[in-house]
Amino acid sequence: MKSENIERLIQVVTAIAVLVGLGLVIWELRQAKSLAFTQIIHANIDNAANHRVAVYGEELRHILSKACFEPDDLDRADAFVLDAYFISRVEVIQRLKVQADIAGFSTPWRLIAQETVREIISFPQGRAWLDSSNSWILAQPDVVEFVGSLLSGKVEPCSASINRILGSVNDEPQSTK
- Say if 27 falls within a structural domain: no
Whose CA is closest to 98, among 146, 137, 147, 139? 139
Q: How many domains does the chain have?
A: 1
Q: Is the pLDDT of residue 112 over 90?
A: no
Q: Whole-model pTM? A: 0.64
Residue 137: the pLDDT is: 62
**Rounded-to-integer distance, Cα 88 and Cα 51, Å:** 10
The share of the chain scoring above pLDDT 70, in percent, equals 84
> Is 93 among the domain residues?
yes
pLDDT, average across residues 19-46? 83
Task: Indicate if the pLDDT at residue 127 is higher than 60.
Answer: yes
pLDDT of residue 22: 92
91: in domain? yes
* Domain assignment of residue 20, yes or no: no
Whether 130 has a pLDDT exceeding 70, the answer reads: yes
* Residue 45 within any structural domain of the chain: yes
Q: For residues 119 and 104, give the distance between their C-alpha atoms in angstroms, rounded to a whole number.
A: 27
* Domain that residue 54 falls in: 36-170
Which pLDDT band holds residue 75 (cuts at 50, 70, 90)? Answer: very high
